[in-house]
Each structure stands twice: as C-alpha cells, then as structure tokens.
Chains A and B, each alone.
Chain A
Amino acid sequence: MSNVVIRVENLSKQYKIGAAKHRHDTLRDHLAESFKSLFGRDGRRSSVSGPEDTIWALKEVSFEVKHGEAMGFVGHNGAGKSTLLKILSRITEPTAGFADIRGRVSSLLEVGTGFHAELTGRENIYLNGVILGMKKAEINRKFDEIVSFAEIEKFIDTPVKRYSSGMYVRLAFAVAAHLETEILLVDEVLAVGDVEFQKKCLGKIGEVAKQGRTVLFVSHSMATVLNLCSRAILLRSGQLVHDGPAESTIKNYLAYHSSKSAQAFDNNPERSGNGVVQLVGARILNEVNQAASHLVAGRAASFEFRYKNMTGERRRTNILFAIYNQLGVAVSCFDFSLSYGLVERLGSGGVFTCHIPNLPLPIGQYYVNIKLEVNGEEADLVPNALVFDVDNSNFFKSGQTPQLRFCSCLIQHTWTQETEPEPEPGLTTRSIGEN
C-alpha cells in the first residue's frame, strides 16, 4: 500500500484564446483579456484558431502528493495554479496526461459557491453544504458548530441578501471549513473578510493540515504558504519549475523576481501607464553615496529615480515607491506628495532622490515597485524596478535582526528590567542600554 494520494503525470491543458479584438499594451492586459474571453460571456464567438491562438495553461506537469501532506502552489498570475486545481477538482478536463486521486475530494475555489441571495442563512448552509459534497445528516450534525464559527446566530433566519458582506463571507467560509473530506483543494479563499476572521480561517486550515488530511493550497501570499505548507511547487507559464520544501520553492520564486529587475526598464512586460512622463533609470546609494545592491540595516540609504518628461509640458506630478520583502509583504511606501505635495515643474527631465537616514529593514531580500502619477493618472508603473539585499545590520547592538516571519520592519526601542524585591533591602534596576 503506497501512501501517495494524488499522482499527476504529464498533465496538460490547452486553451483557445481567440482573435484579439484590440491591441494590448502589456502582456498582463493581454492575458487578462484572453482569460476574460475564455471564461467570459463573449468567448464563444471565437471561431478562428491557429496555433498562435492557443495557450498552454498547463504543460506536462508531474508530481505526487503523499497522504497528510500540505502542499502549496506558488507562481505569478496565469502560471497555471488555478487551472491545475480546476483539473484536480474535475471541473475542467485536461488536454493530455492524467491524475489519479485516492479519496474523497472537495474543492474550495471560491467561498459561497451556490449561495442564493433570497434564501436565509439556515437554508444556504444546507444548500452550500450539499453543493460542496456534504451529506444532509452531516450538515445537521455540524449545524450549530457552523453557525457559531460564523458568528451569525442572530441572523440565521434572515435572507443572506440582507447580510453585510463580512457576515456573508464568514458564513460561506464556515460551511467550507467543516468539510470532512480526505483531500481539500483550496484556492486563495482566505483573501476575504476582516483581519480577525482571516486569522481564524488560516488557523482552521492549519488545523486541517495537522489532522492528517491532505491539503493543496494555492496562494499569492508567500507568508501564508510558508506557514501552512511543508512542501511547495513553483509554476511558471504552465510548467513546473521547482518542487521541494516550501522555503526553497519560495526562494526560487523570489530569485526570479530579482533576475527580472535587470530588464525592468527596457523590457518589462508588467510595466504600464500612459507614458507622458517616464522613468528611465533607478539606483540605490549606500551611506557613502556609492551605487549598491547590498545595504546595511541601521545605516543611511538613498533611492534615486531618473525621469524624462516626454512632452515637456507643465504637469502636476507625484512619485511613489513601495518596498516589498521576500514574502511579498509591502514593508512601507514612500510617497512624495505626502510630505511635499505635488510637483508643478518637471522640466524636460531630472532626478528624484529619497533619503532614508536609518534603514529599518530586517535582513533579507527586497524589491521595489515605482509609480509616477501625472494629473492623477498613472503615467508609469514599473514593478520590480529594483532589487536589493539587506545582509548586515547595525540597527541593534548584536548586529542581528529578528526573523522575517515575525518582523517586517525594525523599530527603535529601549528595554528595562526590574527584578522582584529581594529579602535584603535595595532595589535593582538594570538598564540594558538603548537600542
């Protein structure tokens, strides 16, 4: 008896994308449009299809999942993560290859699938539960638990159309959370509800994973994958590029980010904006004003952005950039207008420089998205324009910083310690020093 519960072999899925109705400025628009026409209401009219009109959403993907494993899937939009889950949950058929699944599967690709606005909370629990594959007797048994998890006891006999969106989502997740199948496929459904409830949902999924059931989990949040999954698979353009422990897969995913930054300004498919003012270069300077890609926490650093005003007119302009850590969390945003208002005179070109006196970033890798706004419109957005490492620190005396799991920025602080008064007189107060 092998304990492999899911075996996927050479799984491929091809989609027809149809003739583009209008030109797309970026690949992201193009893909978004393609997928819209695939799943949207006007996709059915596409009759022309040559080899260039098809796209492999998934190509020759093979892997195995063992019983009780929590497996994460990471990758950019359109990498094939959701297509994979759709095939595994039997919503759509693969074009080639196969997957063997041992055990009852339930898929949560969305919260509240099949909810009907006119029905009451009670009625929707039954309807949704049955749609997700529960038996009526099972729902009867868990009914009270579901209601109390969702915290909607008072409104259980109110039509859900009168619910606040928070209540609606809580109820929907509560039903899903009480599924008892051996294999659970989850697609990013946690990005809903308020923060408190999100934490509760995450906890519930973590519990499920610990109970020895198999969980396949798709997410954009590296932190969540790291928390919940022992193993992770990285997909890129439909292909499996890495399969291993969650940390190593995430590292691999982020390394790709940094390799892309080299071409951030020339050949960045994710770049967008109307282009009236454009960024032409960006660099990071360390505390002695030398260009650097490695910085030290606690020392000074500057970010320099060169721009060109394409038409030379007077424009009301703002520049802002955000620093993301390697878990994909935005650490902070630096917005010119928040301190100085909008820039009225741009000239034909120039440089913006942002100076940070005391870099408060824990050791790790970071990337920077830059955005120029002109007259309130997006003129140029460059994702992953810069990548840098913080590999040393003098922020704290030890030269170390806390783990990224618990910390996304460093805050200046002091400590004191007092001991309980000893039998002998004399109170000891020891200052452990600043920082």
Chain B
Amino acid sequence: MSVIESELQATKLQPIADISVIRIEPSRSWLAVNLPELWAYPELLYFLVWRDVKVRYKQTVIGIGWTILQPLTTMVIFTVIFGNFAKIPSDGLPYPVFAYTALLPWDLFANALNRCTVSLTGSANLITKVYFPRLIVPASAIISGIIDFAIAFVFLLGIMLWFHIVPTWGAIALPIFLLLALMTALAVGLWLSALNVRYRDVGHAIPFLIQIWMFLSPVAYPVSLVPEKWRLLYSLNPMVGVIEGFRWALLGKESPDFKLIAVSTAVVVALLLGGLVYFKRIERTFADVV
C-alpha cells in the first residue's frame, strides 16, 4: 500500500464530529467582513502574486527592462518639457531626480490600480468555478506590483549617486509611504474592481481616470506651486501625501507638511474601510454577474 493510500485511510478514520460545520445560507449582514478568513488562504495569495509576476514579462524581448523603461522615459520627457522648457521649479533639487522620485510611487500606484480594477473580471473563470475569499484577487493584483517597484527603486539609487544626493535618515520612514501608496491603490481598487464586475464602463474609464489623477498629484511639479488656500483640498488626494513623503524621505527636501500627510492618510483609511464593506456586500453576487 502506498503512502498516499495509507494517508487516505487516516482521513477516513478521522472522526467527523471534530470537523467544523460550514453553514451555507443567504447572507443577511451588510458588514460581514471576515478578514481572518483571508489568512486561511496564504498560499493562494502567494501563488496568485507569483503567477502575475511570472507571466507579466513572458515572451517579451526586454523582459524585466520594462519596469525601468516606463519611469525612465517619463522622467526624460518631464525633464525636457517641464524642467527645461516650462522651467517648473523643483524645490532646489535636480529636476530628473525630483521627477523620478515621484514617478516611482506613482507608477506603483497607477499600475496596481489598473491591474486591480480588471482583476475580478480577468479571473472570471476562477470566480465561477472555485470558492475562495474573493478579496484575494484584488489583493494579489496590488501586491504583485511591489517587484516592479523594487527594481525601479534600485535604479533610483543609481540616479541619486549620479547626482551626488545622499539619502537622509528620513529614508527609514519610506516603508510607511510605500504602504500608504499600496493602501490607496487597494482602497480605490476595491471599489473599482467590484463595480467593474457589473459595469464594464469602469474598465474603459480607468486609463482616463489615472491620467487626470496624475495631474492632480505633485509628480511633475512641487506642492509649493499650489496656492496656500487650496492646499487642504488638494491633500484630500492621498497620493499628495505619498509623493511628498517619498521626496522628503529620500531627497531630504525640507520636512513636509505633516498636516497634509495626515489628511491623506485619513482619506485612505476611510476609503479602504468603505471599499471593504462594499466589496464584501456585493462579493456574493460576483459569480452570477461576472
């Protein structure tokens, strides 16, 4: 008898009373956010992220080079147009570093949001055939962006070296701003991915939305260019806090307006909680409408 068979015997002999009973019924609670369940499937989350990363640059010629090419070309174009032609100030920093430091979290956010929005519809074949907490799908789409970020980040260190900029002690705070960027993408992504299941319009609107959002974030220009009286309204955009945080942590630009960052964080937390509730509420209909 093989090992497998003896294991099966063991399964058979296990007293079934010990196994917990799952009740399947129409959900009544609107606030049925069952976060612990998410951790019951750590391997699934891991493998979905692994799949995303593995598949992303298959059958491409420059492969992983794409992760650097995107922020790099944007940086060059911004430097020429905004830095040289328009002479937009850059808080006293070399414009290329100024722009690239913002493009790093921005690309992370934009790509993550983009992938997250179409993640559920892209996994329709999974959702209609197997059960698992649906939250894993958008979550894995967000997390898989970290690899690209890490590679582009190493490149940033190279640029900083070139311009003789030494990171400050503030760099220790970088993970916090990275987390804030990811949370922002997840918060918005939860809403949009769930909406996209029912209304595919969302998928069409997303590139447009991301483009507008970039101009409302201090990627190509410094926050100091925004009139004082609009600052508070401006910082409702969570990416303002993220980008300001990155520039402060890495480039040692004068300490940022922590009030702005606090407002940004509060907005993200509110969006994320709302997104979770909304997502959980309509999650049970995904398989029927996707």
User: Does A44 contact B21, Cβ atoms closer than 8 Å?
Assistant: no
The answer to whether B127 touches A91 (Cβ under 8 A) is yes
Among B4, B8, B47, B198, which residue has its beta carbon within 8 angstroms of that of A145?
B4
B125 touches A113 (CB 8 A): yes
Chain B residues lying within 8 Å of A182, measured Cβ to Cβ, are 11, 14, 16, 19
Return chain B residues, CB-CB under 8 Å to A101: 21-24
A88: which B residues are within 8 A, CB to CB?
24
Q: Are A118 and B58 in contact (CB under 8 A)?
A: yes
Known: A116-B51, A145-B4. A96 touches B129 (CB 8 A): no
Given A89-B131, A98-B25, A131-B130: A38 touches B288 (CB 8 Å cut-off): yes
Q: Is A188 an interface residue (CB 8 A)?
A: no
Q: Which residues of B have CB within 8 Å of A131?
A: 44, 47, 126, 130, 132
**Surface stretch bound by B, among A103-111, A218-226, A325-333, A386-394:** A103-111
- Assess whether B288 is in contact with A92, with CB atoms less than 8 Å apart: yes
Q: Identify the interface centre among A91, A103, A113, A126: most chain B CB within 10 Å of its CB.
A: A91
Q: Which of B3, B22, B58, B284 contacts A92 (CB 8 A)?
A: B284
Contact: A100 with B21, CB < 8 Å? yes
Q: With both chains docked as a complex, state the minimum distance between the C-beta of A209 and any C-beta of chain B, in angstroms.
A: 12
Central interface residue in A105, A114, A119, A133, by most chain B CB within 10 Å: A114
Verify if A348 is at the interface (C-beta below 8 Å from B).
no
Residue B59 lies at the interface, judged by CB distance under 8 Å to chain A: yes
A102 & B288 in contact (Cβ 8 Å cutoff)? no
Mark contacts of B249-290 with chain A using CB atoms, 8 A cut-off: 1 yes-contact digit, 0 otherwise.
000000000000000000000000000000000001101111
A30 at the interface (CB under 8 A from B): no
Q: A39 in the interface, Cβ–Cβ < 8 Å?
A: yes
Closest chain-A Cβ to B61's Cβ sits at a distance in Å of 15
Question: What are the residues of chain A within 8 A of B19 when measuring CB–CB?
Answer: 102-104, 182
In chain B between 1 and 60, which residues have their CB closer than 8 angstroms to a CB of chain A? 3-4, 7-9, 11-12, 14-17, 19-27, 43-44, 47, 50-51, 54-55, 58-59
- In this complex, the member of B14, B22, B58, B199 whose beta carbon has the largest number of chain A beta carbons within 10 angstroms is B22
If A44-B289, A67-B16, A94-B25 touch, does A110 touch B129 (CB 8 Å cutoff)? Answer: yes
Complex contacts, B128 vs chain A, CB 8 Å: 39, 91
CA distance A180 to B9 in the complex (A): 11
> A130 to nearest B CB, angstroms?
5
The one of B51, B198, B285 in contact with A119, judged by C-beta atoms closer than 8 angstroms, is B51
Contact B12 A211 (CB under 8 A): yes
Q: Kindly report which residue of chain A lies nearest to residue B201, judged by CB atoms.
A: A44
Report if A123 contacts B (CB, 8 A): yes
A93 lies within 8 A of chain B by Cβ: yes
Asked if B24 and A98 sit within 8 Å, CB to CB, the answer is yes
State A99–B22 Cα separation when bound (angstroms): 8
Closest to B121 in A: A41
**A99 and B23 contacting across the interface, CB-CB below 8 Å:** yes
Given A101-B22, A109-B129, are A126 and B12 also a contact pair (CB < 8 Å)?
no
CB distance from A150 to the nearest CB of B (A): 16
What chain A residues lie within 8 Å of B4 (beta carbons)?
142, 145, 178
Residue of A nearest to B55 (CB): A118
B231: interface (CB < 8 Å): no
A95 interfacial contact with B, CB 8 Å: yes
Q: Does A86 contact B (CB under 8 A)?
A: yes
B-side contacts of A96, CB under 8 Å: 26
B55 adjacent to A90 (CB under 8 Å): no
Interfacial residues of chain A within 52-96, with CB under 8 A of chain B in the complex: 67-68, 86-96
Q: Known pairs A101-B21, A126-B47, A182-B16. 6 more at Cβ < 8 A?
A: A44-B200, A89-B130, A101-B24, A109-B130, A142-B4, A211-B9
* 6 A-B pairs with least C-beta separation: A98-B25, A90-B131, A212-B12, A93-B284, A99-B24, A113-B129
Can you give 7 A-B contacts (C-beta < 8 A)? A93-B24, A100-B21, A101-B23, A101-B24, A113-B125, A123-B51, A131-B130
